[in-house]
Amino acid sequence: MVTHKQIWGAIDNLAGKNGLTASGLARAAGLDATAFNKSKRIGPNGKQRWPSTESIAKILDATGATFDAFATMTVPKGGKGGGGGRMIPLIGMAQAGSRGFFDDSGFPAGSGWDEVPSPGVSDDRAYALKIKGDSMAPAYRDGTIIIVSPELDVRKGDRVVVKTVKGEVMAKEVGKKTSKSIELKSINPAHPTRTFDMDDVAFVSRIVWASQ
């Protein structure tokens, strides 16, 4: 049996997969912007409110998702149902280079963050970035949402988000890494491999999920 929490969790996950909030998904489907608000999911008398089959059909049409894919989203990664709708911070990749969005350890800080549902990522300090442009293609194209875990150890071969002391933010693959330097291979073959002294790197955090 599919539960109330699982259905709403699938809607949150579908929104996040497309780089949208629940309100943004509703608008994209031609519905009232508040249709999927959390306050609308339980009635004043405490009775559960379910989304209509028509509203589900409209969000599938708006996003191009199949019903089978939507059904899969009712079960978060890890197996057991539960919806997986925990919200995590989201900003654009370009914004990430600005001051005030991260603390000295590379954790989200300050204001100006949006939020998207986390699709089964367990790290409580994880955050999401929205890719702009095709400089990180073919792995990450314009509009791709990536989720980053700043707490995980970084190893050779990991795909990571790197921010330099000068404020440059990029998604790369780790090549050689020592205590003094790090080699970053470009995901887009049109861009060269780069090497940085660790003193010139603000933080390196592993990418753990991407929306496409």
Closest CA to 131 of 169, 90, 93, 170: 93
Where residue 1 falls among pLDDT bands split at 50, 70, 90?
low
Residue of higher predicted confidence among 175 and 18: 175
- Tens-place pLDDT, residues 92-143: 988 898 888 998 888 888 878 988 877 667 778 899 999 888 778 888 888 8
- Can you tell me the distance from the alpha carbon of 180 to that of 22, in angstroms, rounded to the nearest whole number? 44
- Can you tell me the distance from the alpha carbon of 107 to that of 98, in angstroms, rounded to the nearest whole number? 14
Q: What pLDDT score does 85 carry?
A: 53
Where residue 175 falls among pLDDT bands split at 50, 70, 90?
very high
- Tens-place pLDDT, residues 57-81: 999 999 988 887 787 677 554 443 3
- Tens-place pLDDT, residues 140-160: 888 888 999 998 889 999 999
Cα 26 to Cα 36, 117, 137, 150, 212, distances in angstroms: 7, 15, 29, 31, 21
Contact indicator for 92, 129 with CB cutoff of 8 Å: yes
All structural domains of the chain, each given as residue ranges with its CATH number in brackets, are: 4-72 (1.10.260.40), 87-210 (2.10.109.10)
Q: What pLDDT score does 114 carry?
A: 87
Segment 161-178 shows an average pLDDT of 93
Contact indicator for 116, 16 with CB cutoff of 8 Å: yes
Segment 161-190 shows an average pLDDT of 93
Segment 158-165 shows an average pLDDT of 94
The mean predicted confidence, pLDDT, of the chain is 86
Q: What pLDDT score does 212 carry?
A: 60
